[in-house]
Amino acid sequence: MGCRKRWEWLSFSHRSGFLLFELLLVLFLFALASAAAVPMLWDWQEERELDLASEEVASAIREAQMMVKSGHEDITMAAMSVTFYCDEEAGRVSYLTKRGVKFIQPRGTLSANIRAGGRLYVVFRKDGFAGSEGNGKYTMRLRTKDGKHEKEITVAMYTGRVRVTRIK
């Protein structure tokens, strides 16, 4: 009986509240779970940002194609070029649409966390042709700043179909 009385303070039926050790254990487990989850969340956020940027570029290409095919603003058989480039000084990926020497919509700048590999240069014509005179580039890679995730945007030369594929 004496032994039972000695360890009675450990029984849960007579205690009220938590021990400091129990509180520290719960905080440690929470910190451990957070340490594992936060990097995964950042990685997921970067991947979603790349998905959004690649779909924005693909959508801009499709919009330029539709303008040419629908005869928007007196566009005739003259070519309309859609050029995507990376501004090396600012480190930002920008895309623009140009008709002759005049810049028109769509155009924009992607997030600062997106980098470009290469340059996409395609000329669309009213008859549906997507090409250019010798210097056309039909693929471009977009990647996250850290290089973990990468996507490739490809425009088919004759049909103008746009395809976005995951590389990494």
Amino acid letter, residue 150: E
Residues 105-115 pLDDT 10s: 888 888 889 98
Q: Looking at residue 51, what is its pLDDT?
A: 95
pTM: 0.72
pLDDT digits (tens, 9 = 90+) for 111-135: 889 988 878 888 877 777 777 656 6
Question: What is the strand order of the sheet 120-124 is part of?
Answer: 102-109, 92-99, 80-87, 120-124, 130-131
pLDDT, tens only, 8-21: 656 655 566 668 88
Is the Cβ–Cβ distance between 149 and 128 less than 8 Å?
no
Paired tokens of 34: 């957070």
Q: How many CA atoms lie within 13 A of 117 on its CB side?
A: 14
Domain ranges of the chain: 20-166
Better-scored residue on pLDDT, 72 or 65: 65
The CATH class given to the 20-166 domain equals alpha beta
